[in-house]
Amino acid sequence: EAEVAQSPRYKITEKSQAVAFWCDPISGHATLYWYRQILGQGPELLVQFQDESVVDDSQLPKDRFSAERLKGVDSTLKIQPAELGDSAMYLCASSFGGASRNEQFFGPGTRLTVL
């Protein structure tokens, strides 16, 4: 069964260090999403890609976060420098895209702890 892959599953880093997360969507899915989930809350969208283009990054803290999907397949989310408040679960999701094919499927997530 096709799944969204993410790595690493867990990451512990110190404040001011750089971290990067990787996501490989389900094959054929044109739309890719990165979400952040703080403990006790629902996920919040950070950035949405359609193929290699950013569709929405209005909630991405651009002073320290960046995201890319260079070939329109896998994607990387980077934080530099990490801050204590960045501790959260980072979730990647993908969908075929389009009005009738936008069911989103999530990967296992990367749990980030910033010390």
Using CB under 8 A as the binding rule, whether residue 94 contacts other proteins is answered as no
Q: Residue 57, exposed/middle/buried by CB under 10 A (0-12, 13-18, 19+)?
A: middle
Using CB under 8 A as the binding rule, whether residue 102 contacts other proteins is answered as yes
Q: Helix, strand, coil shares of the chain as percentages rounded to 5?
A: 5, 50, 50
- CB within 8 Å of 26: residues ≥ 6 apart: 2, 3, 4, 94, 105
Using CB under 8 A as the binding rule, whether residue 99 contacts other proteins is answered as yes
Determine how many CB atoms are found less than 10 A away from the CB of residue 85. 10
Size of the site for other proteins (CB under 8 A): 25
Using CB under 8 A as the binding rule, whether residue 107 contacts other proteins is answered as yes
Using CB under 8 A as the binding rule, whether residue 108 contacts other proteins is answered as yes
What gap in Å lies between CA 64 and CA 54, rounded to an integer?
17
Residue from 19, 21, 34, 43 touching other proteins (CB under 8 A): that is: 43
Residue from 61, 72, 81, 97 touching other proteins (CB under 8 A): that is: 97
Contact residues for other proteins, defined by CB under 8 A? 31, 37, 40-45, 48, 56, 89, 91, 93, 95, 97, 99, 102-109, 111
